[in-house]
Amino acid sequence: MDKERNVYRAHCLVLAYPAQGHINPMMQFSKRLEHKGVKVTLVITKSISNTMHKEATSIALETISDGYDEGGIAQAESIHAYLERFQRVGSQTLVELIEKVSSSGCPVDCVVYDPFVPWALDVAKKFGLLGAVLFTQSCAVDNIYYHVHKGVLKLPLSETEILLPGSPPLGPQDMPSFIYDFGSYPAYFDTLVGQFSNVDKADCVLVNTFYELEQEVVDRMNKIWPLKTIGPTIPSMFLDKRLEDDKDYGLSIFKPDTDTCMKWLNGHPKGSVVYVSFGSFVDFEVEQMEEIAWGLRMSNRCFLWVVRESEEEKLPKHFVEETSQKGLVVRWCPQLKVLAHEAVGCFVTHCGWNSTLEGLSFGVPMVAVPYWSDQSTNAKYIMDVWKMGLKAPVDEKGIVRREAAEHCIKEIMEGERGKEIKKNSFKWRKLAKEAVDEGGSSDKNIEEFVTTLVDSLSIS
């Protein structure tokens, strides 16, 4: 035990909620902690571990049970049932894991947890450990849910303009879908508002963003708790290059068709390709998929489109064959490498927070096609606050029509507005890199977190 203590400054157990957009930032934060001399054990559920493709990483990986080890959330009769069982079974198996890990020679000093599983803090406190919450969505979105939690933002919405401290004026459609479409997913809504149920008991509040990106709302929320921005949680190779071999997240639900994608991109000029990806979860209606397809075709631009196997049947008949001279459709791709490729000049995205941060960090102008959750808020900021993309307008049915998709792509790739968007994209890319580089705002915050953790050990 003494030998382990001499090697590491402290030991953190990092618990991720079982979804790709939550695991990625937890993994990347773990790597940053390890770089600072902290031993890290990343914890995911058995069900998600069984389905993920794992690449070599120095981060130790352990699992707990969500009560559905064979199929995860898909095995549960409802989202509510899944979350309820996950809390009960997850709490118990987390206790067992902490006991097991601590008895193996390097006791756990701190639990870093996703606020989607606030019960992890209760477990940490039972053992007398430090508890640090890491919010994996934007600070702007956290601010919205916090005001709902406090009862300041009344639901269902009645105002046509929502004014919150630290945020620009927001319309109802700029709010997360669980708020503007109140009652649509009650279990998820309860989870998102419930993130704040015991946050006041946390020893540290971390947010996956960087200060320069959300300065006003960070300053405002900093008056409630001392926030530490630690993002963007992007592999070091694409930003500061200080972490050796940190070229990918290391865990992926789908296996990417890397060779096909990169070979295809290598054959295209700089800034000529439209990259389209709606993530691992979005499930568009057939009509919306068809409109996106037609919009791409009408833009007359080369495109790389990620269409998951479960979504392929929604494409127009013969679309892939008829557009093969201009486009490539794949089931999954290495998104980081694609966005870093100089051929990519536009990113059509659902605006999940991970994808938004990736677009910002690589400086790729975005066309926002939000689907649900926080994506509509992220899209608002992309277009009107950070001014590095366009939000595709929808019709009365909520569908982005082909003409709208075509217009947004052409405006970014060749229009006057696109020039300003590209200029802003370069600015954010530079600021993202500076934030995580040595002495940057996020780097300093991570170092301060580690120092606080180490100091608490010397006191105890």
Which residues are marked as active site? 22, 114
Is the Cβ–Cβ distance between 111 and 12 less than 8 Å? Answer: yes
If we measure between CA atoms, which residue out of 335, 390, 343, 383 comes closest to residue 361?
335
Parallel, antiparallel or unpaired: strands 366-368 and 130-135: unpaired
Q: Which residue has the tokens 């990417």?
A: 256
d(CA 320, CA 376): 29
Is the Cβ–Cβ distance between 47 and 244 less than 8 Å? Answer: no
If we measure between CA atoms, which residue out of 116, 150, 130, 108 comes closest to residue 202?
130
Torsion angles phi and psi, residue 381, rounded to 5: -70, -40
Task: Give 367-381 as a DSSP string.
Answer: EE---STTHHHHHHI
Parallel, antiparallel or unpaired: strands 110-113 and 130-135: parallel
Residue 212's CB is within 10 A of a number of other CB atoms, namely 18
Is the Cβ–Cβ distance between 296 and 405 less than 8 Å? Answer: yes
d(CA 27, CA 380): 27
Is the Cβ–Cβ distance between 25 and 231 less than 8 Å? Answer: yes
Q: Which residue has the tokens 């006041």?
A: 200
- 3-class state of residue 337 by DSSP: helix
